[in-house]
Amino acid sequence: MKKKLCFMLLYLLLTAHAGAVNAQGAAVIDADTGAVLFEQNADSRLPMASTTKIMTALVAISEGNLDRTYQVKKEYTQVEGSSMYLREGEKITLRDTLYGLLLESGNDAAVAVAGECGGFDAFIEKMNAKAEELGLKDTHFDNPNGLDSETHYTTAHELAIITAAAMQDPTFRQIVSTRNYKAGEHVMSNHNRLLSMYDDAIGVKTGFTKRSGRCLVSAAERNGRTLIAVTLSDPDDWNDHMAMLNNGFSQYEEVTLHRAGDVVGERTVFGGDMDKVPLIAQSTVKAYLTKDEREKLKSVQLGDNICYAPVVRTALAGQIEYRLDDRVLAQDNVLFGGASLLPPEEKSLPERILERLFGKG
């Protein structure tokens, strides 16, 4: 009882903190389902500073050919603000430039990426087209680096959606989870302190200008669930993100969907000594679900509806999937839980007479 009370108090404290974050805009979503777990002024248009570079990277990665080498142009090096310190004339791959973009938050890297992926103006069009493709209504990009502009904005919720899309790409996930990286003479360190402050953190990006204030997007993974947290203009973003993520994860509970050996259905059998055979689960399957997900979760069995004898006990019969809308949250093999054998072959009349007379076939 005491343990349960302590847990409830901790939950209330985390919830209270998450409900009082210092950000002008904040949101936490499930990266896979898009479900909103927390929001505070999440739909207000706000500047996003260098968290812009999440979209920059997403568009660049979709262009492909990241290992091609290009020569740095002078205009790439003449950008104000944070830098990965590209040098005019040096040769570097687009992949290494993306590390400079996301770890060092290089504004020069952002301009280089845009320049090498179709040109600055064309690249900005691609960024805005991607936002439209994701169904975003309150996001607009004027540049690839996040420098202040009146028509360069997003919302906490929509930035979380952009990040969820980016985190689906393994290259992006690898880069934003990297703490240190070296490319030639470029030695880079990830500015995202949550990677060392929060055990479950796996990315993604910081940002700051005087106009935008401190902006932070983080991602964390626990028990197979990935959450995205966003704060825009938050002077206490590190602490707020840890509280927001903890509060988000506290909304999931471990649920046993079935245990090994549980009967999960039956199969009609033709031509055997048994017309129906039970189907059993091969393994115990658990998942971490919100209350809303538990109510919406559906199970679907994959395999033939009928089969023909002989059926052998414990042979593979198909699969069972637990789905939330179109997403598979968990799955397991389904085995035959019984046997259905072929009936003895009927003997001919002469064979039956001989057997009766002599006791053999």
Residue 53 annotated in active site: yes
Residue 312 identity: V
Query: Which pair of tokens denotes residue 72?
Result: 């740095």
| Among the listed residues 98, 95, 94, 116, the one whose alpha carbon sits nearest the alpha carbon of residue 106 | 98
Residue showing tokens 């966003």: 230
Selected catalytic residue, list 3, 44, 53, 340? 53
Q: Are strands 316-324 and 298-302 parallel, antiparallel or unpaired?
A: antiparallel
Active-site entry in 2, 3, 74, 105: 105
For this structure, is 189 an active site residue? no
By residue count, the chain amounts to 361
From residue 230, how far is each of 172, 203, 248, 293 by CA, in Å?
17, 12, 12, 23
Residues 6 or more apart whose CB falls under 8 angstroms from that of 209 comprise 47, 49, 81, 146, 147, 148
Residue 205 annotated as catalytic: no
- Under a CB-based contact definition with an 8 Å cutoff, are residues 289 and 255 in contact? yes
CA nearest to 293, candidates 321, 323, 319, 331: 323
The one catalytic residue in 3, 4, 44, 50 is 50
- Residues with a known catalytic role: 50, 53, 105
